[in-house]
Structure 1
Amino acid sequence: MVDVAIKNAAHGRDEAENRLRVLERFRRGDKFFFHLTRSAAFLVLVLLFAIVASLTYGAWPALSHFGFDFLISQSWNANTEQFGALATIYGTLVTSLIAMLIAVPVGIGIAIFLTELCPAVLRRPIGIAVELLAGIPSIIYGIWGFFVFAPVLQQTLQPFLISLFAPVPVLNALFAGPPYGLGILTAGLILAIMVLPFIASVSRDVFETVPAVMKEAAYGLGCTTWEVVRNVVIPHTRAGLVGGVMLALGRALGETMAVTFVIGNARQISASILQPGTTISATIALEYAEASEGLYRSSLVALGLILFVISFIVLAVARLMLARLNKQEA
């Protein structure tokens, strides 16, 4: 009896030690996983601060030399070393605004059609086609826009807009000719095509998260499809919609090659959106390789810093809007 008791006690002690070893192994694994993920998070912050620091360091000679005039001047002359960012900022913001005004309603309309109205046999082909648009390289959009899209606009849409709005006092300046084909409107339309898949895909995904019972209840009350979309689907998914729109806006602000092909690259501000212009990213892409050391290269880096700040402000506003929407829903 004594031997049996001793064996049972020894067996129980071994089981307890094995259990402790297993728990200790799990604890070490969790600790390692915690430190690994925390290091990854801190790495992102380090990279972010490193980018900001390098941009600030490179842009400081130009910012300290020109001061606030760098932001309000549109002069850009490498021979006299007089540089200003206003024309590039204007072109970046206007082209992005045109793109969002076109892409947001069209993208959301595509998502509504795919989730609410499209026959089942067409949903997958159309969805794949929309997603394929997002995978086309930007250089392809630029080549297509330069050789195909811009000539078509020069012969059709731009003359039509010029003649249509010629009698209207304000819009005649906004759509003043001659029709070059290349210009701010063309760049905005190309950007709209490029960001359209992002808005459509994100909108479709968030629309599919709406519980079917909510839509069925609305239909049961006699609502039309438009009323269901307006009163049920969009209010339920507005936070996701805002996120998708801001994602597309960030893509539009930073797009380089496609815009460089079709915007005309004229460093001037024109009241007409049919005239050539430029953007921050297009100016940097065209001139940085040939820029000499000193104020010229520092001014280009300063443009990059301004684009970074604009993108940061857009993302910050998006986060604030999402936080407010989530708070209202709660």
Structure 2
Amino acid sequence: MILLNEEEIKELLTMDECIPAVEQAFNLLGQEQAYNLPRGRIRTEPFEEKYSYWMNCIPGAVPGMGVAALRIDSAVQELVRNANRTRGAHRDYRYCGLVLLFDSRSGLLLSILPDFTLSGIRVGATTAVGTKYLAREDASRVALFGSGKQARTNLEGVCKVRRVTRVSVFSPSPIHREEFANEMSERLGIEVRPATSPDEAVRGAEIVVCATNAMLPVFDGRNLEPGSHVASIVGGDKHDLRLRGRLRQEVDDTTLERSDLVVLNSREQAKLDEQADVAALLKKGKRNWEEFSELGELVAGKARGRPGADAITLHLNNTGMGIQFAAAASVAYQKAK
């Protein structure tokens, strides 16, 4: 059994290797040759007025890759409130996240890995897979919302599957978006420039990536260009309404209604968590459950892709999945052996 640490994960797991591994896992899932249980979460009532305990469990198995995995997180979150959102912020000294990697043939534990770096890469890889199958082949201009870990890995993932020439990034903090633009311009070798408003960021973009911790929509869907592809990483759950006063929704109703094709990681998770973006379309009669494709079905060729050059597509990267963790952890484990 191999025990890995964060620094080793950073050396072992690259986006170039993670994207095809995650794509393979979704392909096998779409062919019903991989297995995934919905994410399970426990969130307690607040204590000491502003803290809540949080546990996250995500299992999955990919026999075609010879592995299974369980991702488990235990954390105390501080409920941070400001003018337009209530969010849970991890306190570094009150967080423990692990991935247990198993051999699906012997049942033995292969490795225990920390999940912080690995999880960011697998989310970015999943957004990359969605972009590969849904964005126009010639898409090169990206609007990015967010300036944290997820924004970095999601942008890197998109740049691996499309020839991106320009990125416009918006974050509520001018300092954060300027620092992010400088860092990622140098790292990716492309033009990344800070935008002063969401409207400026979206203007002219062919791919829009939302990688934030916001509770409210981050841009106005009326500003989307025809032919755009939108990716959102929000995977909120019904506990948000109890603890934060509303359900999370990173893209607005207009974006949802303008989208000609909506693809989810998991329909089952959206149902269980009563996720706001999907519920908004269902309540208005704009979609029924059968009209939401899953990423695995798309990759396996069982669901239609982009309807046309001017169509707007939306990938709701709406949950972490055990198959993602199995695929990503397997890459790191095989290199560490």
Q: TM-score range by the shorter chain?
A: under 0.3
Report which structure shows greater RCO (CA 8 Å, sep ≥6).
1
Structure holding more helix per residue? 1
Structure label with greater radius of gyration? 1
Structure holding more strand per residue? 2
TM-score w.r.t. length of structure 1: 0.20
TM-score w.r.t. length of structure 2: 0.20
